[in-house]
């Protein structure tokens, strides 16, 4: 009888062409997709050429997305995107997404059907772990590794041990995937899953829509995880069936699979979370936040820029106004999401509330542009990191939360729940 494996071990074994793997082993895997963005692709492209690369291993399996400094904020960022654009044209790559036709990489790749269950994906961006929500193995790598993989179509991994996070029960109002992952990171710390697979399961997880699943897996890296993953089921099948243009395989962990540790959370214990500066692990329930006056609120990023996230923020903002002392910036995750939000009247709600609605971009998440903070300013954001200087000046502060909390805080001028408005 075959030895039991976790979903992560199965994904790596499948890609490596072997029957079984176990934690600590080294495997060479064939890749289903290699990703880079306008910050990391230029380095990857230089590496590709420096190792003698002539043609990418498969033009259909390399994706380049301009999202970090787009629209181009200066000459340097314009040159970097031009290098991507020229490379994609030279290599006849169909999956180059420029401004106006794409959006934020970790939102558009699943939406466009480029990542599917069973895939093994690397990206020159740490939040590539997002795609574990589809039942794929996906992880961030260095730009040089991505450049080499563009040429060879494969990469080696050390098989990670797995941690299992079981969440059961019903979530309270205004609580979603962002709160589950912030709560988890608050419990185990930013290095609590270092080079481990973070597998999420339980009745709460199984009932979550895709947007919340993507958010959870997106922030696995914030706990040091090698990857985040959720076993696919009917929800994933519904999502990918209309998007997939190639076969896929939905895997799950075997009964008896070994985990380094199993954590169990009761969904009823999780209230809306706010992570205080300057680490995501500084998570507190909204009832413990106290009086934190803010200067800016941001809804968007690869973590919470999906249509469901915009709907949540709009539900809070409808019929209300952003506080005069607050700048509220809304960033749809893709061109498609932006259009859907216009058609649903969501953008109108934002504009009437006094928000600024941006074209899709990573923008302020990495302190790039479209909302950089000055010294002493405080922001609440649906982004994934709140390190020192992450969104601008080293003396600014970023508080992480879900879209409803961010929207309510924009109205109140201080961090609060919609229930307090």
Q: Using one digit for the tens of pLDDT, what is the confidence trace for 29-73? A: 999 999 999 999 999 999 999 999 999 999 999 999 999 988 999
Number of domains in the chain: 2
314-371 residue pLDDT tens: 999 999 999 999 999 999 999 999 999 999 999 999 999 999 999 999 988 888 899 9
Task: Give the pLDDT band of residue 2 (cuts 50, 70, 90).
Answer: confident
Q: Is residue 188 part of a domain?
A: yes
Q: Which of 405, 373, 404, 370 is nearest to 386 (CA)?
A: 373
192-206 residue pLDDT tens: 999 999 999 999 999
Tokens of 319: 């019929």
Q: 194: how many CB neighbours lie within 10 A of its CB?
A: 13
The answer to whether residues 142 and 96 belong to one domain is: yes
Contact between 368 and 73 (Cβ < 8 Å): yes
Out of 219, 243, 264, pick the residue that ends a domain. 264
The answer to whether residues 281 and 258 belong to one domain is: no
Task: Give the pLDDT band of residue 375 (cuts 50, 70, 90).
Answer: very high
Q: Is residue 209 part of a domain?
A: yes
Q: Is residue 224 part of a domain?
A: yes
Tokens of 398: 């970023």
Q: What is the mean pLDDT of residues 239-265?
A: 95
Contact between 16 and 92 (Cβ < 8 Å): no
Helix/strand/coil for 120: strand
Helix/strand/coil for 264: strand
The answer to whether residues 223 and 297 belong to one domain is: no
137-244-124-51 Cα dihedral, nearest 10 degrees: 100
Q: Is residue 60 part of a domain?
A: yes
The answer to whether residues 230 and 280 belong to one domain is: no
Flag whether the pTM goes above 0.85: yes
- pLDDT the model gives residue 60: 96
Out of 213, 234, 264, pick the residue that ends a domain. 264
- pLDDT the model gives residue 17: 95
Contact between 326 and 262 (Cβ < 8 Å): no
Q: Which domain holds residue 26?
A: 7-264
Q: Which of 351, 363, 350 is nearest to 403 (CA)?
A: 350
Tokens of 35: 């990703």
263-290 residue pLDDT tens: 999 999 999 999 999 999 999 999 999 9
Out of 264, 293, 313, pick the residue that ends a domain. 264
- pLDDT the model gives residue 368: 86
The answer to whether residues 335 and 212 belong to one domain is: no
Q: Which of 35, 42, 36 is nearest to 82 (CA)?
A: 42
Q: Is residue 204 part of a domain?
A: yes
Judged against a pLDDT cut of 70, whether residue 242 lies above it is answered with yes
The answer to whether residues 224 and 278 belong to one domain is: no
- pLDDT the model gives residue 217: 98
Q: What is the mean pLDDT of residues 175-202?
A: 96
The answer to whether residues 132 and 11 belong to one domain is: yes
Q: Is residue 269 part of a domain?
A: no
DSSP per residue over 130-195, as a string? GGGGGT-EEEE--HHHHHHHHHHSEEEEEPPEEEEEEEESPPPTT--HHHHHHHHHHHH-TTTTTT
Q: Which of 381, 402, 132, 373 is nearest to 286 (CA)?
A: 402
- pLDDT the model gives residue 367: 87
Tokens of 333: 């995750």
- pLDDT the model gives residue 181: 97
The answer to whether residues 260 and 278 belong to one domain is: no
Contact between 320 and 354 (Cβ < 8 Å): no
The answer to whether residues 78 and 192 belong to one domain is: yes
The answer to whether residues 97 and 180 belong to one domain is: yes
Q: Is residue 2 part of a domain?
A: no
Q: What is the mean pLDDT of residues 67-82?
A: 92
Q: What is the mean pLDDT of residues 162-174?
A: 97
Tokens of 324: 């005069």
Rounded distance between C-alpha atoms, residue 86 and residue 355, angstroms: 36
The answer to whether residues 58 and 126 belong to one domain is: yes
Q: Which residues pair with 27 in a beta bridge?
A: 157
Q: What is the mean pLDDT of residues 374-389?
A: 94
Contact between 77 and 335 (Cβ < 8 Å): no
Q: What is the mean pLDDT of residues 110-123?
A: 97
Instruction: Provide long-range contacts, Cβ within 8 A and 24+ apart, for 10-13.
Output: 10/251, 10/253, 10/254, 11/118, 11/120, 11/136, 11/137, 11/229, 11/251, 12/120, 12/137, 12/157, 12/159
Average confidence score pLDDT of the chain = 96
Task: Give the pLDDT band of residue 1 (cuts 50, 70, 90).
Answer: low
83-98 residue pLDDT tens: 999 999 999 999 999 9
Q: Is residue 1 part of a domain?
A: no
The answer to whether residues 259 and 129 belong to one domain is: yes
Rounded distance between C-alpha atoms, residue 261 and residue 163, angstroms: 5
Q: The domain that contains 374 carries what CATH number?
A: 3.30.499.10
Rounded distance between C-alpha atoms, residue 406 and residue 298, angstroms: 7
What is the separation, in whole angstroms, between the first and last Cα of the chain? 59
Rounded distance between C-alpha atoms, residue 315 and residue 74, angstroms: 36
Task: Give the pLDDT band of residue 221 (cuts 50, 70, 90).
Answer: very high
Rg of the chain taking only CA atoms, in angstroms: 20
């Amino acid at each position: 009888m075959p030895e039991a494996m976790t979903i992560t071990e199965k994904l790596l074994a499948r890609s490596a062409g072997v029957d079984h793997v176990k934690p600590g082993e080294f495997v060479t895997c064939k890749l289903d997709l290699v990703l880079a963005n306008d910050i990391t692709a230029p380095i990857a492209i230089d590496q590709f050429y420096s190792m003698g690369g002539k043609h990418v291993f498969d033009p259909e399996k390399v994706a380049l997305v301009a999202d970090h400094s787009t629209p181009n904020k200066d000459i340097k960022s314009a040159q970097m995107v031009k290098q991507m654009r020229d490379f994609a044209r030279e290599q006849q790559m169909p999956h180059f997404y420029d401004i106006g036709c794409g959006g934020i990489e970790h939102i558009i790749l699943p939406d466009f059907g480029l990542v599917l269950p069973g895939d093994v994906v690397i990206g020159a961006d740490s939040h590539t772990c997002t795609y574990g929500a589809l039942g794929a193995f996906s992880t961030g790598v260095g730009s040089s590794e991505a450049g080499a993989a563009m040429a060879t179509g494969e990469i080696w991994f050390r098989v990670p041990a797995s941690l299992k996070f079981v969440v059961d029960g019903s979530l309270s109002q205004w609580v979603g995937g962002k709160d589950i992952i912030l709560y988890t990171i608050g419990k185990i710390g930013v290095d609590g899953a270092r080079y481990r697979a973070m597998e999420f399961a339980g009745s709460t997880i199984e009932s979550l829509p895709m947007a919340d699943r993507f958010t959870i897996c997106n922030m696995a890296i914030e706990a040091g995880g090698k990857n985040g993953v959720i076993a696919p089921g009917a929800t994933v099948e519904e999502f990918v069936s209309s998007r997939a243009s190639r076969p896929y395989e939905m895997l799950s962990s075997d009964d008896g699979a070994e985990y380094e540790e199993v954590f169990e959370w009761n969904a009823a214990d999780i209230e809306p979370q706010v992570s205080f500066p300057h680490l995501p692990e500084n998570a507190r329930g909204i009832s413990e936040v106290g009086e934190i006056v803010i200067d800016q609120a941001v809804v968007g990023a690869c973590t919470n820029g999906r249509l469901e996230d915009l709907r949540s923020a709009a539900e809070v903002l409808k019929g209300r106004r952003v506080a005069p002392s607050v700048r509220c910036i809304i960033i749809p995750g893709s061109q498609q999401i932006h259009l859907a939000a216009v058609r649903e009247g969501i953008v109108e709600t934002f504009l009437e509330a006094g928000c600024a609605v941006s074209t899709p971009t990573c923008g302020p998440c990495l302190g790039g542009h479209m909302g950089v903070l000055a010294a002493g300013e405080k922001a609440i954001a649906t982004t994934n990191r709140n390190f020192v200087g992450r969104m601008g000046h080293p003396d600014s502060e970023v508080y992480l939360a879900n879209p409803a909390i961010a929207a309510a805080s924009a109205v109140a001028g201080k961090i609060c729940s919609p229930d307090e408005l």
